[in-house]
Chains A and B, each alone.
Chain A
């Protein structure tokens, strides 16, 4: 996993990749594929497309490694590529038609049928997350992903560490608003 990697081994891995060591790059893909794929697949519902996009991320990593100066951590740099690739993926897409509308009072939740409500809500939530701006999307998708370091997420999104929580609250508020209105 990414967080088990010390900076020296990361440094070595990058150096080996830059020398054209194919095995080193394979190792890099093995280390990061879990988090990269999870981040991408949480944003792109179509699995085949998600895999293609996750592959694109590593192709960009491979192409960019000769120019990677090591000023940022490798992980941060990779997540930044994820953000860019997701943003590019989003651009040509048409926004889905709104499902229902209106801004009546929020729906009440009974505790008894929570399991059923959870299932339905999860479905609506996934749709609503797909509608968030890419930065909010990556923040929410990444924050609740085990193994992804807080500081990597902050740096990849160009957020000062102290503001991550505020931004996360804003992202979740926007998500809640979508659930209270368009995705009721």
Chain B
């Protein structure tokens, strides 16, 4: 029996398990394995007497605080999403009504009028497209501000 064969059972020996007599016989005559066994026993002893770290007094408070903040953020997100959905819904309904009225012939717009409207909004459209990112950002800010305002109104009325 070689020392390497014993390496796998040192931990079991350290815990006091009874193994086949060969193992015990080898350890009795081998200082290297005795040292390993001593190390394994020391590790066991130290692990068993290791202090358990205790959480600080304010631990629960701080967890609840973070949970509250996370919930607030989640609600905010839901509210913004809800507002955007409502706005998109309204826009769809309006577009649908206008389209229906148009196709049923209830709504007639003279070609010159359309052209006049086109000419009137053309400069605005092209300048808006040029400043695209800024406008989108402003629109997003406005939407979230309105959403937040709407949410705060809702919370306050509870």
Cβ–Cβ contact B40 & A54, under 8 A:
no
With a CB–CB cut-off of 8 A, which chain B residues contact A173? 7-8, 10-11
In the assembled complex, B133 has its CB within 8 A of some CB on chain A: no
CB-contacts of B53-79 with A (<8 A)? 53-56, 59-60, 62-64, 66-67, 70
Cβ–Cβ contact B54 & A34, under 8 A:
yes
Write the chain B residue with the least CB distance to A141: B50
Question: Given that A51-B55, A54-B59, A55-B63 are contacting pairs, would A105 and B70 also be in contact in the complex, using a CB cutoff of 8 Å?
Answer: no
Question: Given that A58-B63, A118-B46 are contacting pairs, would A37 and B36 also be in contact in the complex, using a CB cutoff of 8 Å?
Answer: no
In the assembled complex, B141 has its CB within 8 A of some CB on chain A: no
Contact with B along A48-74 (1 / 0, CB 8 A): 001100110011001100000000000
A168 to B40, CA, bound (A): 12
Write the chain A residue with the least CB distance to B11: A169
A146 to B45, CA, bound (A): 15
With a CB–CB cut-off of 8 A, which chain A residues contact B8? 173
Q: Which of A26, A47, A58, A176 contacts B39 (CB 8 A)?
A: A176
Question: Given that A37-B55, A37-B59, A55-B66 are contacting pairs, would A107 and B35 also be in contact in the complex, using a CB cutoff of 8 Å?
Answer: yes
In the assembled complex, A41 has its CB within 8 A of some CB on chain B: yes
A-B contact count (CB 8 A): 105
In the assembled complex, A125 has its CB within 8 A of some CB on chain B: yes
Chain A residues within 8 Å of B, Cβ to Cβ: 22, 25-26, 29-30, 33-34, 37-38, 41-42, 47, 50-51, 54-55, 58-59, 62-63, 105-109, 117-118, 121-122, 125, 140, 143-146, 168-169, 172-173, 175-176, 179-180
Nearest 7 pairs of A and B residues by beta carbon: A41-B53, A37-B55, A169-B11, A106-B35, A38-B52, A109-B38, A58-B63
Interface CB pairs A-B, < 8 A, 21: A29-B63, A33-B63, A34-B55, A37-B53, A38-B53, A41-B53, A42-B52, A42-B53, A55-B62, A55-B66, A59-B70, A106-B32, A106-B39, A109-B42, A117-B42, A118-B45, A125-B47, A145-B52, A172-B11, A172-B43, A173-B10
